[in-house]
Amino acid sequence: MIHWLSIAPQPATLVQLDAYGGAISDRSNHATAFPHRRGARSNLQYQSYWEHDEQAPENIRWVEGFRRAMLPWTHAAYVNYIDRDILNFPQGLGQLVAEGAVEPEEIPGEARPDQ
């Protein structure tokens, strides 16, 4: 993580780490609208902000590279952050369904693991 943050293309570039676990796991995945309770240790959010259109490619490459570098330690995506660029996004959704975190009908059609 330190390497990728050290080569960030813009000053307004960050990775937000939301720590899960602990008391959040005391409730069922279906108890509230937030299904990531049991089995999820954390959530990473890769963020890069730029002011000029010509800066987009380098910022997008940075996010994509950082994401690829983190793949050995990640397995799914936050269910409400649908991102077709995540290689294993449909499989990750399938895992969430298998774990009982979300119901298949809660997943938008084109993102469903069976599509």
When divided into structural domains, the chain yields a total of 1
Range of the domain at 104: 2-111
Report helix, strand or coil for 112: coil
Report the 10 Å Cβ neighbour count for 29: 19
| Spatial separation of the C-alpha atoms in residues 35 and 25, rounded to whole Å | 10
CA–CA separation, 57 vs 61, rounded Å?
A: 6
Looking at residue 87, what is its pLDDT? 54
Model confidence pLDDT, tens digit, residues 29-88 = 777 777 777 777 788 888 999 999 999 999 999 998 998 888 787 766 666 665 666 555
**Global pTM exceeds 0.85:** no
